[in-house]
A and B are shown apart, each in its own frame.
Chain A
């Protein structure tokens, strides 16, 4: 029994290593000095150093990683919160009143199937005409559109799962639509809000193409900024620095996912109606 268990864990460990190899390799490389990167390809560190990270945070005269992080944070927050605010009332109307269920809902959901970059040129022109080019809000707005379909889909489902009697009870209790939505439906959608926020934030944070296209100096997000580090010395790629910058860039969404994970799952309607 015990040997059996040990074997099982060894297999799991092996699989985890193989599947996460690129991530682990990057993580390890981030701690190798410039000399070691060229000589030692193994995962075993000979002389672990924080030199790369210090470089990443200090060559801020040209490449300001704090600005990139801030830009990504603002854009990803706008891009994940705005669609929730917009989609919530729409999702209620679709779920409860059936508005747009036949055409609009499938249409919006299928936006996800389109490579959004086909809108690149008109979008660029609209952005430059409206002054949204190279702004954090502008980037956030386009991320909001990227996130809208999934948000809407999750919220439509979440509202559909709230027993209708709860809304009916609220209406009999004298609540008009706004109060019913805010006091009864909204709180019960909290798990769905957390889920859509986490997914939306991660999607927004990791988005690259629009970041590349719609920003130049002021609002460059972390993903685009990270690529600048690859050739920061002008000559060949500094792999250690590149790896360190990727670790820094990957950390915020990773932490968010870990912190919010327990809140994503689980339903809120326990005890509402009898089974």
Chain B
């Protein structure tokens, strides 16, 4: 197992700069998740680490050793591809054993390791089938099995769950988390599903347009997003961003008469972020903002409202479901300053 360090890594395809000067350290044994919108370069970054793409500039170090110029077979990583990439002419058993055979592992040891991987992934009864005779979920488990029989320096997963149904996805997510615990391995996991990111990661790397937006634990990212992009990328519904400024030591939301005490360091305030679940519904006259409910979705544990405020546009709010707030109701929304995320004009967090 190994630490992976990336230093000023850049990659362009022709004129298009896909990865722009990324530096990142993934400590030994970390479960690191890359998230970001489609096309932001997650797969490209993973493929650079695997050695399947050559870097335009910068370095990749595994356990302190510069591997930038090495071929994939000399990097000792294992990878689960977004498309599974199973060898169609080999049985499940042969697929899983391929890397071990390549490394000239003794047959007895291969049999033992394949059996163990098959047990973990519940593939025992499919070992003699070809991939064509497997369901999507089974294929995906074979792809994972192929990666875990080895003892690589790190595991790379490229959206391994993206084509599974909800139930299987949840199950496999748990399996992968358990696997990480039992192997104590460094894992890099690409996804654009934020639930996967939040639940699996020790550390999340949020990418956008080939750049790192923020690195941190799920809690850090959710509670203290470094910028508007991260704030809106994590959390569902996405965070409300309200235009605001600080005047006379108080926060003034655009179009609202209410004044909230401004904490220190908020001087350059341009907007505030407010999560839906941090809003409380009040009578119209008691709210910081007032508006009309346009949409009310009942979620069981609560209800999600879309409130049209005259002042700041539409705001998403999540409240308890003990009062039915159908569309057309006029309500107030209240929140305290410590729930607000302050951002400057560039969208960067202030304090």
Contacts and interface: CB of A to CB of B under 8 A. Distances in A.
A165 B98 contact: no
Contacts of A190: 89
Contacts of B146: 169, 173
Interface in B53-109: 71-73, 75-79, 81, 83-89, 98-99, 102-103
A36 to B, nearest CB: 55
A274 B78 contact: no
Interface stretch (B34-42, B110-118, B130-138, B266-274): B130-138
Nearest to B134: A271
Interface string B141-171: 0000010001000000000000100000000
Interface in A130-164: 163
B133 A272 contact: no
Interface stretch (A77-85, A112-120, A179-187): A179-187
A102 to B, nearest CB: 18
A169 B51 CA distance: 11
Nearest to A173: B99
A74 interface: no
A271 B134 CA distance: 8
B50 interface: yes
Contact of B50 (A170, A172, A271): A172
A45 interface: no
Nearest to B142: A271
A268 B73 CA distance: 25
Given A163-B83, A272-B86, A274-B136, A174 B131 contact: no
B98 A272 contact: no
Contact of A274 (B76, B84, B98): B84
Contact of A165 (B72, B78, B85, B132): B85
B103 A188 contact: no
Interface residues of A, number: 25
Interface string A88-132: 000000000000000000000000000000000000000000000
Interface in A166-223: 166, 168-176, 179, 183-184, 187-188, 190
A1 interface: no
A169 B85 contact: yes
Nearest to B101: A183
A271 B73 contact: no
A174 B102 contact: yes
B139 interface: yes
Given A179-B102, A183-B98, A168 B89 contact: no
Given A174-B73, A274-B136, A274-B163, A168 B88 contact: no
Given A173-B78, A188-B88, A270-B88, A165 B103 contact: no
B258 interface: no
A175 B73 contact: yes
A168 B73 CA distance: 10
Contacts of B81: 165, 168-169, 273
Nearest to B98: A173
Contacts of B130: 271
B88 A174 contact: no
Contacts of A172: 50-52, 72-73, 75, 77-79
A171 B73 contact: yes
A269 interface: yes
B104 to A, nearest CB: 10
Contacts of A270: 88, 131-132
A79 B85 CA distance: 35
15 contacts: A165-B85, A168-B81, A169-B81, A170-B87, A171-B52, A171-B71, A172-B77, A173-B102, A175-B73, A175-B98, A176-B71, A179-B102, A183-B98, A190-B89, A271-B133
- In order of increasing CB-CB distance, the 9 nearest A-B pairs are A271-B132, A271-B131, A165-B85, A273-B83, A173-B99, A270-B132, A169-B85, A272-B88, A171-B72
